[in-house]
């Protein structure tokens, strides 16, 4: 769920702020806007000594290897770990700028907000066939499974659309934040040109406060995003929890 605010769209999930407006509401207050799994993965915390040092490169490699296995990616160089997909979607317009953006709507507002901040003109369309008419050279954004309506675009259709975008000099961004709850994923195909996939960790594992997410893309794109993020993009606890889960 997203709500309009001055200057853009604000993501849901701010339970404490919402409860201030409904002080007499029954408890517990259940937030359905973000789709976070209700049961947290029971990970083992690292030893206290781990917090005295910066996150280790070996630990990040172990996390990426675990993601490669979980998402069916063929090359670890295609996987970028970051502090949540919200951060990664915010980087995309700056690292992979586009002259215009087409978003399959209605959907949550994070992508539109990120592109608007980067100054890109945005068009919203309501069905998949309309995406094929997006202007050449732009970026197309599809959330599948979608929030808030649960719409799923078949992987075969997404692959055809990705190929079309690549042929016309554009790019397809597929947000699979809820793909762990679905039966199919485009993630194994990310090595192809013109395709970027976002995968959330916190939702399906019930650890949203951990702030961990992944961008999957062709090697050249992944390396560019990784370089912009710099060293230590993921904290010690998230590295441990993500690798275990």
Averaged pLDDT, groups of 10, the chain, 245 residues long: 42 74 83 78 91 93 97 96 95 96 95 96 96 96 94 96 96 96 93 94 91 97 96 95 96
Tokens standing for residue 214: 């992944």
Report the sign of the C-alpha dihedral through residues 126, 103, 200, 210, in that order: negative
SS3 211: coil
**Residues 6+ positions from 233 with CB-CB distance below 8 Å:** 60, 80, 81, 82, 83, 226
Instruction: Give exposure, 171-202, as e/b (b: 16+ Cβ within 10 Å).
Output: bbbbbbbbbbeeeebbbebbbeebbbbbbbbb
Q: Kindly list the domain boundaries of the chain, sorted by start residue.
A: 1-34, 48-244
pLDDT at residue 7, rounded to an integer: 40
pLDDT score of 115: 97
How far apart are the C-alpha atoms of 58 and 141, rounded to whole Å? 33
Token pair recorded at residue 35: 């789709």
Which architecture, in CATH terms, is 48-244?
3-Layer(aba) Sandwich (3.40)
Whole-model pTM: value is 0.89
Evaluate whether 199 touches 213 at the Cβ level (below 8 Å).
yes
């Amino acid at each position: 769920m997203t709500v309009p605010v001055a200057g853009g769209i604000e993501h849901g999930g701010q339970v404490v702020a919402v409860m201030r407006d409904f002080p007499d509401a029954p408890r517990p207050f259940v937030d359905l806007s973000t789709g976070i799994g209700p049961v947290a993965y029971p990970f083992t915390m690292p030893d206290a000594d781990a917090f005295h040092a910066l996150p280790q490169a070996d630990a990040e490699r172990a996390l990426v290897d675990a993601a490669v296995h979980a998402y069916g990616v063929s090359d670890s160089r295609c996987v970028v770990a970051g502090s949540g997909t919200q951060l990664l979607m915010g980087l995309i317009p700056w690292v992979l700028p586009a002259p215009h953006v087409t978003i399959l709507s209605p959907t949550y507002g994070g992508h539109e907000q990120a592109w608007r901040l980067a100054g890109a003109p945005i068009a919203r369309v309501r069905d998949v066939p309309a995406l094929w008419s997006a202007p050449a050279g732009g970026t197309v954004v599809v959330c599948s499974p979608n929030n808030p309506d649960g719409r799923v675009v078949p992987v075969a259709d997404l692959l055809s659309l990705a190929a079309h975008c690549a042929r016309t000099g554009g790019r397809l961004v597929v947000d699979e934040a809820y793909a762990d709850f679905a039966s199919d994923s485009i993630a194994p195909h990310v090595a192809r040109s013109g395709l970027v996939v976002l995968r959330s960790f916190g939702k399906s594992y019930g650890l949203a406060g951990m702030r961990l997410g992944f961008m999957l893309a062709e090697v050249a794109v992944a390396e560019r995003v990784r370089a912009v993020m710099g060293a230590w993009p993921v904290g010690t606890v998230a590295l441990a929890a993500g690798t275990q889960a």
